[in-house]
Amino acid sequence: MANLRLTKAAAIAILALTHRPSAVAADVLTLEQAVAIATGQNRSLQSSALEIQKAQDRLKATGTRRLPSFNLDAIGSQQLQAYEFTIEKGVLGDYAGTGPLPANDVHLKSPTEPSGLLMAKVSQPLTSLIRIGRNMDVLKTGVEIASEQMRADRQKTVRQVKQVYYSLQQVESSLRSVLQTEELYHELERLTENYVAGAVVLKSELLDIQTRVAKTQQTVLQLRDQRSTGKEQLNRLMGRDVLEDFEVQPVLEMANDEFDLDAARVRALAQRPEIRQAQLRQKQAEQDLRAKKAEYIPDVSADFNSTTLVNYGNFLPLQNTSVGISMSWEIFDWGRKRHEVAEKTRIIEQARNTELDTVSSVLIDVNDKFRQLRLSRGQLRVARLAQETAVESLRVAKNKYSVQSVLLKDVLQGQVSLEQSNSDYQQALLSFWNARADFERALGEDQ
């Protein structure tokens, strides 16, 4: 009866180790769901979105400089001494019909009370519109650069989510395997106890089984801790409460899709945000140079001015208004603008070099990730064959042990080989999906 019980338990363990459950619990979080939640709630991505809004705010703020400016200056003061003026008799002339102007000396004195001066000015820039427009072009390109940076951050977040998710899948798979191994060891322990009682095997073999049970229980504890840590990390990436519980799907089998390297290079050059950013930075440097050259143009504005005096006495006009044209032009700057233009020109050259270097780096990255994907696909095939071999070897060893034609150590060795082959297969499968995710990131895929 013990032999029959062992055979059934072994068959159940082998089937469980080599087949994955098809039922999906209600609280299972798929990889697609995790990516969607992370791209919508990840805090780093939200900060990247704020960078875009900041760049847009700078652009809008600069755009207001094209409109008229309204300035009001007010000065309040207390005269410490009065200003006295004397307009002497006849200073304005002596005429036959009227006589001298003024006819007598006129004494004027300002009051020693608090006084004020109000100056209002409305100014509409004219030639400055050229420089403002070119600066706005620079800022518009800055908005595009911020958008491409957000794309890069999104791709980085998606890659991190996939890495953590795949590691959780590996931990879950290893945990299921170890739990099944623990169950099998308990069954072997019960059977070996019967053999020791019947003096068929030595007690050392029973102790060996009990030691393996204890080690397996410790491994279960470690894997559960790793699973908890991985869930907390994934929740953080998704912008959720780190203590929120969920389950992950079992590791999917290897995808059979193939990639063409030449087509992959073309896609990467068209999609990678690094290349787009390098191109935009070169464009921005050229726009910045045009804006710097616009500083040679004099600043001409149309102005309206109004001045109001408060409590200055009656000898000065209380209100004065005027319209006109004002100009500000730095005629000689000791070569400052020339050197600044030369600096901007060199920045353009640097941007061109950066773009060429970025293109080379992207092509190298695509080639490398393609080779890694191809290698991981081959390693996965080898691991799958090794797993099938180990399953068959363990089945044969268990059948022989049930009729006492092999020793317990042979069964245990077969079990160890199966555990190792299962671990190798899961690691190879995880490596394949990681390599595939790396290749998709190298192509510039947002998901």
- Give me the architecture of the 2-72+126-299+335-443 domain, per CATH: Up-down Bundle (1.20)
Residue-level pLDDT at 11: 42
Q: Who contacts 389 (Cβ-Cβ below 8 Å, separation ≥6)?
A: 421
Residue-level pLDDT at 125: 93
Q: At what angle do helices 31-41 and 43-63 cross, to 10 degrees?
A: 40
Tell the residue number behind the tokens 């600096």, with chain if given.
343
Residue-level pLDDT at 250: 81
DSSP string, 150-193: HHHHHHHHHHHHHHHHHHHHHHHHHHHHHHHHHHHHHHHHHHHH
Residue-level pLDDT at 409: 64
- The end-to-end CA distance of the chain, in Å, is 56
Task: Evaluate whether 156 touches 295 at the Cβ level (below 8 Å).
Answer: no
Q: Enumerate long-range contacts of 391-396, CB under 8 Å, 24 or more apart.
A: 391/14, 391/17, 391/18, 391/418, 391/421, 393/417, 393/418, 394/10, 394/14, 394/418, 395/10, 395/14
pLDDT along the chain (447 residues), means of 10: 38 41 60 92 93 95 94 86 76 78 77 84 94 95 94 91 89 82 77 72 74 86 92 93 89 73 91 93 95 92 90 73 91 91 95 95 93 89 85 77 66 74 80 87 82
Residue-level pLDDT at 305: 93
Q: Is the dihedral of CA 390, 392, 393, 395 positive or negative?
A: positive
Q: Where are the domains of the chain?
A: 2-72+126-299+335-443
Region label for 303, one of left (φ > 0), alpha (ψ between -120 and 50) or beta (otherwise): beta
Residue-level pLDDT at 201: 64
Residue-level pLDDT at 255: 65
| Per-residue buried b or exposed e for 38-70, using 16+ beta carbons within 10 Å of the residue's own CB | bbeebebbeebeebbeebeebbeebeeeeeeee
Residue-level pLDDT at 7: 41
Distance CA 108, CA 317 (A): 14
pTM: 0.75
Distance CA 268, CA 282 (A): 19
